[in-house]
Structure 1
Amino acid sequence: MGFRDFLLVYNRIAEYCFAHCIENLNDRSLSDEEIRCVDVCCGKQVNLNHKLMSVYMEEQPKILEKRIQEVQKLESAQQTTT
């Protein structure tokens, strides 16, 4: 995951939690309820992202290996037909 990807995820989390938690834009500071909501929201989103990334890191090699095998089968099939 590159820095650009990190920023995209960070921005999505910030936008989602802002839309979900911030109710009053007339005050410069957040209410205690808004602060708690943002803390919980961001925590859940970060945990979800970590779980998704761990599953991705576990499954990606399997997917890549399967694709390599498919390409090798296609290449061997093409070589036998020529």
Structure 2
Amino acid sequence: MAGFTFINAKTARFGNGMDDGILLGPLVSKGQHGKVLAASRRGRDEGTRTLTGGGVPDAIEKGFFIEPTIFVDISAES
């Protein structure tokens, strides 16, 4: 299951969520984009390992997109 999830996260296509073949559309606002990025940073700062993602996709210049993120080694206190 983890391998399947990892492959899907690495190959997900970004863009207009209404277009065929697009799996991930943008977040709704700049504020929400910032909150999700901050939560991802906080997880890494607390020792959670990021298997993939957690940042802004390089190929997209406009919109509030974030890469699919998979965290592992999450502590029970998180």
* Same fold per superposition (TM over 0.5): no
Structure number having the greater helix percentage: 1
Higher relative contact order (CA 8 A, sep 6+): 2
Larger radius of gyration: 1
Report the TM-score, using the length of structure 1 for normalisation: 0.30
Structure number having the greater strand percentage: 2
Report the TM-score, using the length of structure 2 for normalisation: 0.31
